[in-house]
Amino acid sequence: MARVRLADVAARARVSTATASHVLRGARSGGTIRVSEATRAAVRQAADELGYVPSAAARGLAAGSSGRIAIMVPYLYNPYFAYMAQTLILALEERGMTTTLRLAHDAEAERDAVLGRTTRDVDGMLVCPHFLSAEMLGEAPGLPVVQVGSAPTEGIDCVVMGEEEGMRAAVRHVLEQGRRRVAYVADPWIPDPGSPRFTGYRTALAEFGLDVDPDLLIEGADWDRRGSGLDAMVGLLRSGTRFDAAVCVNDAVAVGALRAISRAGLRVPEDVAITGFDDTVEVAFTSPPLTSVDPGVQQMAELAVELLVARLEGSTAPAVRVSAPPRLIVRASTLG
C-alpha cells in the first residue's frame, strides 16, 4: 500500500499542504500561518481517516530543532534550477518539513553554506552545486547534506544525474535521423575529458564511426544562459563550418541557439536538427518544440529527500550515490 502523503491529507481536508503541515506539526497559532479551530479539526480528522503517519525526521525536527531545510542552487535564471528547487520544496513539504531557498553564486558561498557557516538556522541541506568537491571543502559538512546533480563529492550522499547516458541518447538520435555534422554547443570547458555530457557526445559519435571535429565544438561565455547559446550559434554560423545538427548542453543554451538559427534564415529541423537537455517547461513551447533529455527531476528530488531523511534520523552509513534514469523526449526540432 502506498504511503499516505501530507498532500493527501491536505486534499481530504480541503486545505493547502502548508496548512496541513502547520497543524500536524503542532505549531502555535501565533506563527506565520493562522489556522481556525475548525480547520485544525478538519486536518486532524483527515489524517486520522487516512492513517497518516509523519516521518520520524519530521517528528524529530518539530520536537527539537528549527524544522527547516535549506535548498541551495547557484541561481534561478536557468529554468532547470528553478524547476529543481520547486520540486525539492514540494517533496520536503510532503514530509512535513519547511524550506529556505539559498543562492550561492561562487565557490566561497557554496563552501560556506555546505560547511554550515552561513546556514546555522537549518537542520539539513539539499545542494545543487557548481563547484562542490571534497578538496574545496577541506572538512566534513557541519550538518546533513545531500548533493543533487553535478560531479559526486566524496563523503557526501549524492543523487547523480544521468548526464552521459542522456547526451549519448540525444546524439545517437540525431545520427539515426541521418545527420553527420553534429555540433556540440556552448560549454566553456570543452573538450574536458571529465565532462559526462561531452563524453556522451564523443561516445555516440564513435558508435557511428565518427571522430570529434574540433570545428564543431562551440564554446559559450557560460553554459546557463539563453544569450550564451545565441552567441555561440552566431559564431558557428559566421565561421562557415558546415553542420546539420546541434546538441546543446542544456535547454537555456538550446533556446538561444534556436533563435540564432531562425535569424539566419535556416529551417529547423529541415536544415539543422537541434536538441536541448533538462526538458524544462519552455522547450515544449518553442517553435518548433525542442527535443530534450528529461533527467528525471521528480525522481531525483524524491531520492534526495529520502537520503536526507535517513541522515536526519541518525544514519551514519557511508555516503551513497544513486541515480535516476534519463529519458529522451523527442519533439519536432529533430524530426525531419
Question: What are residue 182's DSSP bridge partners?
Answer: 245
Taking alpha carbons only, the member of 13, 18, 17 closest to residue 40 is 13
The pLDDT score that the predictor gives to residue 132 is: 84
The pLDDT score that the predictor gives to residue 29 is: 35
Q: What is the mean pLDDT of each run of 10 residues along the chain (336 residues)?
A: 72 81 58 73 90 64 68 90 94 87 90 87 91 84 90 91 96 98 81 80 97 92 83 96 96 95 97 97 96 96 92 87 94 93
Scanning the chain, the segments in alpha helix (DSSP H) are 6-13, 17-24, 37-50, 56-64, 79-94, 107-114, 134-137, 163-176, 196-207, 226-239, 251-263, 297-312
CB 232 within 8 A of CB 185: yes
Q: Which residues, other chains included, contact 59 with Cβ-Cβ below 8 Å and sequence gap of 6+?
A: none
Q: Is the dihedral of CA 216, 218, 224, 227 positive or negative?
A: negative
Q: Would the CATH topology of 6-53 be identical to that of 66-162+296-326?
A: no
Highest CATH level, class, for 66-162+296-326: alpha beta
Instruction: Go through 222-235 and write b for each residue having 16 or more CB atoms within 10 A of its CB, e for each that does not.
Output: ebbbbbbbbbbbbb
Quick: pLDDT tens for 158-178: 999 999 999 999 999 999 999
Main-chain phi, psi angles of 292, to 5 degrees: -150, 165
- Containing 185, the helix (H) or strand (E) segment is strand 182-185
Distance CA 142, CA 288 (A): 47
Q: Which residues, other chains included, contact 130 with Cβ-Cβ below 8 Å and sequence gap of 6+?
A: 74, 104, 107, 110, 150
Look at strands 157-161 and 145-148 and give their pairing. parallel
The pLDDT score that the predictor gives to residue 136 is: 84
Look at strands 182-185 and 217-218 and give their pairing. parallel
Q: Name the 3-class secondary structure at 324.
A: strand
The pLDDT score that the predictor gives to residue 192 is: 64
227-230 — which CB contacts under 8 Å span 24+ positions?
227/256, 228/186, 228/252, 228/253, 228/256, 229/185, 229/186, 229/253, 229/254, 229/255, 229/256, 229/257, 229/258, 229/259, 229/260, 230/256, 230/257, 230/259, 230/260
Q: Which residues, other chains included, contact 185 with Cβ-Cβ below 8 Å and sequence gap of 6+?
A: 218, 220, 229, 232, 233, 236, 246, 247, 248, 249, 253, 254, 257
Q: Where are the domains of the chain?
A: 6-53, 66-162+296-326, 163-294
The pLDDT score that the predictor gives to residue 55 is: 61
The grid cell for 65 is: 530543532
Distance CA 216, CA 222 (A): 17
Taking alpha carbons only, the member of 248, 256, 262 closest to residue 291 is 248
Distance CA 317, CA 98 (A): 25
How many residues make up the chain in this entry?
336
Highest CATH level, class, for 163-294: alpha beta
The pLDDT score that the predictor gives to residue 28 is: 37
Q: Edge-to-edge strand order for the sheet containing 273-275?
A: 217-218, 182-185, 245-248, 273-275
* CATH code of the domain made up of 6-53: 1.10.260
